[in-house]
A and B are shown apart, each in its own frame.
Chain A
């Protein structure tokens, strides 16, 4: 028997609103479809009416986890438009925060994977360690989530010797913990069996569907913007691109843990080779008429900003493509012929970050497959009507009886 189920826009496994429509046959998924737009905020349109400096803080608010990715991607694009060479110390600090953000994002993902698989202890442990990174970020930037560190020509704050020392000290702790997680992921049989062989994506399909980031690297394609198209100071840093050949969720987890270990090395390198000098240079206000295509390796994959300027202090066009959008096509391919039990895992394996505004609510009758569209005002009227119909007992009731 085939029947249709709509997972989301509100579902415990989805941390942000997106609608997954599944055609199921028993416990097996036969067809899958995505519906986006529940969180579309019109940032690209908004950016056209803001100045370049205002957009610096707007782009940061595209995402709550990889806020620095979007801001850096935008900043280095605009710097190229301004033909500005940023301060070297500034670039080192920028790269440092990029890597710290990657560490925090990957630890977060490991926790989410644990939770989706039903492994609560793993979730608690990784999120405890994530707090360590969050504290470092808080200490050197002043904020836990939206760091606001970038400015055209460098960064806004310097770091001192004490901060350097503290970061190096905590890295050792994080390294031992990460190795422990790698060990758990590989040896704990219930967890490894849940991840292995789930959400297969062959190398050819991953390339054809333009997947990015750990999703692509776990299918054996060593694509990493930090290597292919180095930005900031990545061309000076020795590091390896982590890949896996297993093409499944376990591979994606392994890639992320390996990247964590690489990130620790990069952070160590950056702190030990931090050049002296100014951490920012003065930037012009106006931008020449030009265009730039800026790429950035966010924790979730390749992040892309296309900026076109028209000679004024506002951009003509800012196009943002977050890594999650690039991975949706691959997700649908991965979901087909999987189990219901694997939906949250497969979906979580691309590390979805649904940055897309509430304008309506769609109600689905999954029995008949009919859809009914209600506007927000209609829905509110319905709720009010229903509320009036309920007979409340008029007497005052005291808590709890």
Chain B
């Protein structure tokens, strides 16, 4: 039993199988919602209301020819998609679903917030390497833009995630979630931080208005220009899973986590992540892509100061309470 539980945890829920199923569902949800917001119908024919369309897309990509550019570093070029997918799947294990033991375990310990955050920022580095090793101009520009943008959103996001942790006085996601479950009104204190985190997550996921690194009309496919077939399918899956994990992290830290054991926890998880994905989709439909310099300006002029302000508010409230 002691072995079975972690194994189930890694393979079934919230590990691989659940992630694959749920992330493709989230992509469908995002696409359908995005289409309805634009007066379109969206995916329709594969499965009920096109719910299997993302799966069909990935199967199609797996069946396609896989091309590696002649001058590219073949090992690096092939390894990067697999590594990045492994990294985000690992990150998903740190979400506080299902495990309830107070004692630290392999996936819940003091400081796992930082570990999860670190794991989520690794794909960005891999995107840069993917762009750089493609030996294509558009890829290189895309890669450089990935890094430039990284310096814009990463610090506001970390500051935004810090404030609930400071208020809850813990570095363990499970304890932060439980703190807000017990005192739901305190969640309102972090409202600025919540929106900063959602905006930064949008930037991390490279979606409109922050799809600058792979802006199609400017630099073709950005860092993914040379990728095709299976490798591109991995990157697409990566994007979907990163969206779920990012949404899960924000839900756990800002919205009180997923209480109630296995099934109610699952329900809370789906409800809260879908809410965050809804916010992300609405942002994507309502805004236009911005330029890289405007993005950096925006994050240092607004996001970072607001995140610092949020931290101050939290410190003051904490001082009043204690």
Contact = CB atoms under 8 A, between A and B. Distances in A.
Interface string B249-287: 000000000000000000000000000000000000111
Nearest to B40: A124
B76 interface: no
* Most chain A beta-carbon contacts within 10 A, residue among B60, B288, B293: B288
A118 B137 contact: no
A400 B63 contact: yes
Given A5-B137, A13-B217, A341-B218, A400 B59 contact: yes
Contact of A118 (B220, B285, B286, B288): B288
A310 B286 CA distance: 59
B271 to A, nearest CB: 26
Contact of B217 (A27, A128, A344, A401): A344
B68 interface: no
* Most chain A beta-carbon contacts within 10 A, residue among B38, B59, B285, B293: B38
B167 interface: no
A234 interface: no
A125 B38 contact: yes
B289 A115 contact: no
A194 B288 CA distance: 8
A293 interface: no
Contacts of A400: 59-60, 62-63
Contacts of A3: 137
A118 B211 contact: yes
Contacts of A116: 217
B291 A194 contact: yes
Sort chain A's interface into a size bin: 20 to 34
A12 B220 contact: yes
A391 interface: no
B289 A339 contact: no
Contacts of A12: 216-217, 220
Interface in B49-98: 59-60, 62-63
A383 to B, nearest CB: 15
Nearest to B287: A190
Interface string A363-401: 000100000000000000000000000000000000111
Given A12-B216, A400-B59, A119 B287 contact: yes
A121 interface: yes
B292 interface: yes
A193 B40 contact: no
A283 interface: no
B137 A366 contact: yes
B286 A121 contact: yes
A382 to B, nearest CB: 14
Interface string B122-141: 00000000000000010001
A251 interface: no
Interface in B123-182: 137, 141
A211 B13 CA distance: 63
A124 B42 CA distance: 12
* Most chain A beta-carbon contacts within 10 A, residue among B63, B212, B291: B291
Contacts of B212: 341
B56 to A, nearest CB: 10
Contacts of B288: 114, 117-119, 122, 188, 190-191, 194
B217 A121 contact: no
Contacts, number: 81
A400 B211 CA distance: 31
Contacts of B208: 118-120
A340 interface: yes
A343 B212 CA distance: 14
A116 B286 CA distance: 15
Contact of B285 (A121, A190, A191, A341): A121
A399 B137 contact: no
Contact of A128 (B39, B220, B293): B39
A248 interface: no
A217 to B, nearest CB: 24
Nearest to B64: A400
Contacts of B217: 12-13, 115-116, 118, 344
Given A13-B217, A339-B293, A340-B218, A118 B38 contact: no
A118 B290 CA distance: 8
B291 to A, nearest CB: 5
Nearest to B136: A366
B215 A341 contact: yes
Nearest to A119: B288
A125 B209 contact: no
B16 to A, nearest CB: 20
A118 B292 contact: no
Interface in A5-51: 5, 11-13, 27
B101 interface: no
Contacts of B37: 121
A366 to B, nearest CB: 6
Contacts of B290: 190, 193-194
* Most chain A beta-carbon contacts within 10 A, residue among B40, B60, B289, B293: B289
Given A340-B218, A341-B215, A341-B292, A125 B39 contact: yes
Interface of B: 37-40, 59-60, 62-63, 137, 141, 208-209, 211-212, 215-220, 285-294
Given A115-B217, A118-B288, A125-B39, 10 more contacts: A12-B217, A27-B292, A116-B217, A121-B37, A124-B39, A190-B288, A190-B289, A339-B292, A341-B292, A344-B217
16 contacts: A12-B220, A27-B141, A118-B288, A119-B208, A119-B288, A124-B39, A125-B39, A190-B287, A190-B288, A191-B288, A193-B290, A194-B288, A194-B289, A341-B215, A344-B218, A400-B60
8 nearest interchain CB pairs? A118-B289, A119-B288, A13-B217, A400-B63, A124-B38, A191-B288, A344-B217, A190-B288
